[in-house]
Structure formats: C-alpha cells, structure tokens
Amino acid sequence: MFDRVLQFFTQPEAPGPKDAAELELAVAALMVEAARMDSDFTAPEQKIIERLLATRFKLGADEVRRLIEQATEAVRHSAQLFPFTREVVQRMPPQERVRLIEVLWKVVFADGVLDPLEDMLVRRIAGLIHVEDRDRAEARWRALAGLKASKP
C-alpha cells in the first residue's frame, strides 16, 4: 500500500483510468484530513464521508471502505496538503471545486461541532484549490442548510 501512496506523489500525469483513481484518493484524503483535524474522527463523520464518496464517484461499499483506508494512509504519510490539492486543481473544474468545499463543510459539521482547526483547514484548502472567499462562504451556508434540513 505504501508503494501506491508513494506512486501517487511521484509519478507524472498519465491520462486514463488511473487519473480517476488519483482524483478519488485526493478527494478522500482531503475529507479524511478534515474529519481528523479535531483529533476525533467520529462515526457521523465516517458515515458522511462514506455516503459522499459513494455518491460522487459511484462506488460500492467495499470500494468506499478501501478508498478511505488508502486515504487515511496517504494522510498519515504526507506532511502537507499540496499533493492532494494539486490533483484537485488539475482534474476538477472550478464549480466542482466549490462543490468539494461544500462537501468538506458537511464533513466538519457532521459531528455537530465546528472546531476552529477544522474551520481553518477548510479555509486553507479553499485557498489552495482556488475557491474564492464568497464561494467558500456560500458553500458553508449550503452545507449547514442541508444538514439542518436532514435532521428530524
């Protein structure tokens, strides 16, 4: 598994199915990092990540679990966000990047508490993937509205 993570960071771009896997890993890694930022990766955060990855990438439950495991390993072995955010910038159009920020807000709000470190991380990721402050703020409000609407 470490070899795959190392390849993710060192191999040059090559078009094809591998691109999809690299983007999936980058998005999952950012989501895992957001969930772990407050040092408490909770069950609600895990569930929302699983649901969002399955929906976004049309993955089955086993594929999602493997992807989260790989992303968790990649985050542990990376000292920075740049490899993940670079992948997102290269492979996602601007509107998709705004949607990713909305997804990250959903992840950090999933446990019902927004830790200042989580807030800082989402703001930092938004900057790294070239999402404007206004778009980031609107994504935050959409995420909050969606979470409130889904509660009984």
Chain segment 62-78, per-residue pLDDT in tens? 999 999 999 999 998 88
Q: Model-level pTM greater than 0.85? A: no
What mean pLDDT comes out for the span 117-122? Answer: 95
What mean pLDDT comes out for the span 29-52? Answer: 90
Does residue 116 surpass a pLDDT of 70? yes
SS3 per-residue string spanning the chain: CHHHHHHHHHCCCCCCHHHHHHHHHHHHHHHHHHHHCCCCCCHHHHHHHHHHHHHHHCCCHHHHHHHHHHHHHHHHCCCCCHHHHHHHHHHCCHHHHHHHHHHHHHHHHCCCCCCHHHHHHHHHHHHHCCCCHHHHHHHHHHHHHHHHHHCC
Residue 42's pLDDT is 84
Residue 20's pLDDT is 83
Q: What percent of the chain has pLDDT over 90?
A: 66
**Among 10-19, 23-32, 82-91, the least confident range:** 10-19
